[in-house]
Amino acid sequence: MRQLFVFLLKYYFFFLFLLLEIIAFILIANNFNYQGARVLNTANELTGKTYQTYNNIFDYFNLKENNKILAEENARLHAMIEQSYVKFSNNEIFVNDTTYKLQYKYIDAKIISNSTGKRNNYMMLNKGFNQGIRNNMAVVSPNGIVGIVSGVSANFSSVMSLLHSEIKISAKLKKNNASGTIAWEGGDYKRGALIDIPSHIKIRTGDTVITSGFSLDFPEGIMIGTIANYKLNPGDNFFKIKINYSTDFNKLDYVYVIKNLFKDEQLKLKESQHE
């Protein structure tokens, strides 16, 4: 026993090093749970507060840019409302109140920390459970899609950005509805990959890619980006397509979190099919 003690004392530097590394790896392992979803804890409330304070100071510097983005979005929305359309036909359709039902609710939030430089990027929002945000909700910016909520604490939430190795988002080409999947292969934060588009589909650079609406979280038709380049290796059944994201992940500030009001119902139906 004494000898063991002497031995440990002699090489304590090495054993302490080992102990600390083990602690660090336990921390890492705890954080790598299923689907990369993380549970925010009290410590995240603390760091959230620090980022919030920092943001309160630096918010003013981006006001001009944010105003511009909001004005552009307003213009786009104005163009979509009824008054902007001219009626060419008199065959009016009777619209029953119950025909349309609100399916998606938008919650606005501000990004208080963000990264684009890692292989797996996350951001933090200044709203959480108390403000109605739940796991797996879709996050979009005025310019396009941003990511998926991956962790929620009382007042903050963390978002798995589109710049993440595990993100897969169902997408389609706007012009012919051919559907594929969006993924990120690392590197440039402005570029993503569109996979699973079969080789018989006709595509061109500049084609618009939007969300397909097949997932339970994203509404149909949200802008993702445009095709930057594509190639078809001989013998392959699918294109290799690179897209330019319409969202500039480095300049994100304000985003919307989308709540699907029918999600529970859709989920139940889906589960009953699997049984």
Partner 1 sequence: MNNIYIKNILRFVVLVLLQVLVFNNIHFRGYINPYVYVMFILLLPFETPPWLLLISSFSIGFFVDLYTDTMGMHAAASVFMAFFRPSVLRMISSTRDYELGLSPGIKDLGFNWFFNYSLILVLIHHTVYFYLEVFTFHEFFYTFWRVIFSSIFTLLFIIIGQYIFYKKK
Check binding of 181 to partner 1 (CB under 8 A): no
Residues sharing a CB contact under 8 Å with residue 52, sequence separation 6 or more, in sequence order: 112, 126
Applying CB under 8 A, the site for partner 1 has a residue count of 42
By beta-carbon proximity to partner 1, the closer residue of 43 and 95 is: 43
Helix, strand, or coil here: 255?
strand
Q: Which range, of 15-23, 80-88, 128-136, 137-145, touches partner 1 by CB under 8 A?
A: 15-23
Whether the CB-CB separation of 253 and 247 falls below 8 Å is answered with no
Token pair for residue 249? 């992940």
**By C-beta, is 17 or 262 nearer to partner 1?**
17
Window contacting partner 1 (CB under 8 A); options: 9-17, 60-68, 73-81, 265-273: 9-17
Closest CB 14 distance from partner 1, rounded Å: 8
Angle at which helices 12-31 and 2-10 pack, to 10 degrees?
Answer: 80
| Region 24-43 residues binding partner 1, contact defined as CB under 8 A | 24-32, 38, 43
Element (H, E) at 24: helix 12-31
Burial of 58 (0-12, 13-18, 19+ CB in 10 A): exposed
**Binding partner 1 by CB under 8 A: which of 45, 131, 170, 188?**
188
Determine which residue in the list 110, 174, 190, 251 makes contact with partner 1, applying CB under 8 A. Answer: 190
- What is the C-alpha separation between 196 and 239, in angstroms, rounded? 7
CB 218 within 8 A of CB 145: yes
CB contact at 8 A, 137 and 257? yes
Judged by CB, which is closer to partner 1: 33, or 266?
33
**Near partner 1 by CB under 8 A, which window of 140-148, 181-189, 206-214, 235-243?**
181-189
Binding of residue 13 to partner 1 (CB under 8 A): yes
d(CA 72, CA 82): 18
Taking CB under 8 A as the criterion, the residue among 153, 155, 157, 158 binding partner 1 is 158
- Indicate whether 251 belongs to the interface with partner 1 (CB under 8 A): no
Query: Does residue 120 touch partner 1 according to CB under 8 A?
Result: yes
267 binds partner 1 (CB under 8 A): no
Q: Return phi, psi of residue 272, to 5°.
A: -65, -25
What minimum distance in Å lies between the beta carbon of 274 and partner 1?
A: 31
Q: Does 54 bind partner 1 (CB under 8 A)?
A: yes
> The tokens of 15 are what?
């054993």
Antiparallel, parallel or unpaired: β 179-183 and 191-195: antiparallel
Question: How far apart are alpha carbons 191 and 247 in whole angstroms?
Answer: 10
Residue closer to partner 1 by CB (options 42, 84) is 42
Residues forming the site for partner 1 (CB under 8 A): 12-14, 16-17, 20-21, 23-32, 38, 43-44, 46-47, 50-51, 54, 113, 115-120, 122, 124, 158, 165, 186-190, 250
